[in-house]
Amino acid sequence: MVADDDPPGTRARWASRCPMVAAVTSVAARIRQTGGVTTSVIRFGRDLPTDAELRVCGDIGDGKRALELGVSREQNALAFALAGARSIAVDPDEAKITALRSAAAEAEVSVQAITSGLADLGAISSASLDLVVANHTLIDVDDLSRLLRQVHRVMKSGKPFVIAVPHPFAGVYTTDEMGSKVHPYGSVGRTVGDWFIHLARANFRVDQILEPGVSDISPVPTTLIVRAVKEGD
């Protein structure tokens, strides 16, 4: 174990030998660089509006239960806890879970961090969650229908499920250097319509679609944010 008062370079040597230590070290470094985790704002990516501006997640204070479905780079489970929620995170990657636990300890907040597949939510009671956020963590999910059924089971009726993914338009290229068509819409990631269909079949109602990321260097949105509300029991 590496302590904060160990000789300079000790932490780096440990990190180079052990991926788990590397993950925890990376998180700790980010916390030190920012002066500690002090924000309760839910984020969806670098240079994108936060939930303080978008207002898609709702109020999760006063001990409401919120799940980060897949630990993102932003580690929104920390923001949940700092906002006063009972915070949960699920991810199959043990290194991400260990890094999150370390970050939570540094921030002096409590996060229930569970190493599990994203669709394996058996540790969470039915109809118990007030918010689920999946921030760029559902991109490679093959059985999306199964995952959505599990998310529906653990959520309270009428509560939001917020999904952020790379915008499918951002992956479209009409021609290559030879003039051949490449990467038509739908060949890279799920389309906007795909998300509508999958969520509707799982008994979610999409009530907001946001498309941030247009800039001087990107004529199309870089990110698709979908807010869907659980319907039924």
Whether 228 and 204 have beta carbons less than 8 Å apart is answered as: yes
Domain 37-230 coded CATH 3.40.50.150: yes
Q: 33 or 212: which carries more pLDDT confidence?
A: 212
Is 106's pLDDT higher than 80? yes
How many CA atoms lie less than 13 Å away from 218 in the CB half-sphere?
17
Kindly indicate the confidence band of residue 170, based on its pLDDT and cuts at 50, 70 and 90: confident
91 token code pair: 């991810």
Q: 183 or 127: which carries more pLDDT confidence?
A: 127
Q: Is the pTM of this model over 0.85?
A: no
Q: What is the pLDDT of residue 17?
A: 52
Q: 233 or 4: which carries more pLDDT confidence?
A: 233
Q: What is the pLDDT of residue 36?
A: 42
Is 15's pLDDT higher than 90? no
Q: What is the pLDDT of residue 27?
A: 43
Kindly indicate the confidence band of residue 181, based on its pLDDT and cuts at 50, 70 and 90: low
Residues of the chain with CATH 3.40.50.150: 37-230
The mean pLDDT value for 215-221 works out to 91
Whether 159 and 229 have beta carbons less than 8 Å apart is answered as: yes
The mean pLDDT value for 154-172 works out to 95
The mean pLDDT value for 218-233 works out to 95
119 token code pair: 């669709």
Whether 89 and 77 have beta carbons less than 8 Å apart is answered as: yes
**Could you report the per-residue pLDDT of 71-87, keeping only the tens digit for each?**
999 999 999 999 999 99
Kindly indicate the confidence band of residue 26, based on its pLDDT and cuts at 50, 70 and 90: very low
**Could you report the per-residue pLDDT of 32-67, keeping only the tens digit for each?**
333 344 478 999 999 999 999 999 999 999 999 999
Q: 113 or 5: which carries more pLDDT confidence?
A: 113
Instruction: Please report the DSSP string for the chain in residue order.
Output: ---TTSPTTHHHHHHHH-HHHHHHHHHHHHHHHTTS--------STTS--HHHH--S----TT-EEEEES--TT-HHHHHHHTT-EEEEEES-HHHHHHHHHHHHHHT--EEEEES-TT--TTS-TT-BSEEEEES-STT-S-HHHHHHHHHHHBPTT-EEEEEEE-GGGG-BS--TTS--BS-TTSSS--HHHHHHHHHHTTEEEEEEE-----SS-SS-SEEEEEEEE---
Q: What is the pLDDT of residue 23?
A: 46
